[in-house]
Amino acid sequence: MRRNLSRMLVTSLLSALILLSVGCEVSFTTAKLSEATMALGVTDDNKPVNATTVFSPDTEEIFCSVKLSNAPDHTEVTSVWVYVGGEVEGLTNYEIDSYSTATEGTRYINFSLPRAADTDFPKGDYKLVLYVDGKESVALPFTVR
């Protein structure tokens, strides 16, 4: 009788755990971002060139180089470029652009924001937010002045 009661209790607990986990997404990744650097350019292997956090309005393209480590196949890294605020009145925390890429391994990757044709970047504060598999990993503030 005691053995049957123990089995029933274990079976009930396992069933409850299974029911609780149905529909819940558990995401775990070994991927990490490090060495995130804003820059005026990148090398052929995506390392930063002329690191800076201050850009002029006529900068042709703003780059970010970041080291990705221990990423399993199909790891999604997303960049979100945000105009935090500045000379454009009434415009704050505006998402300028975003880009996602599926990648793997350990290597440098880069993201960039080109200047629109015949237009300067508005002066002000910006940030680049990087996500790994949908979770925020790093936010990099920078300025255009």
Domains present along the chain, CATH in parentheses: 27-144 (2.60.40.10)
Predicted TM-score of the model (pTM): 0.80
| Cβ 121 vs Cβ 59: under 8 Å | yes
**Closest among 14, 29, 43 to 77, alpha carbons compared:** 29
Question: Could you tell me where the DSSP H helices lie in the chain?
Answer: 2-21
The token pair at 123 is 């002066």
Q: What are the pLDDT digits (tens) for 43-84? A: 999 999 999 999 999 999 999 999 999 999 999 999 999 999
Structural contact between residues 40 and 80, judged by C-beta atoms closer than 8 angstroms: no
Residue 17 has pLDDT above 50, yes or no: no
Average pLDDT over residues 28-42: 95
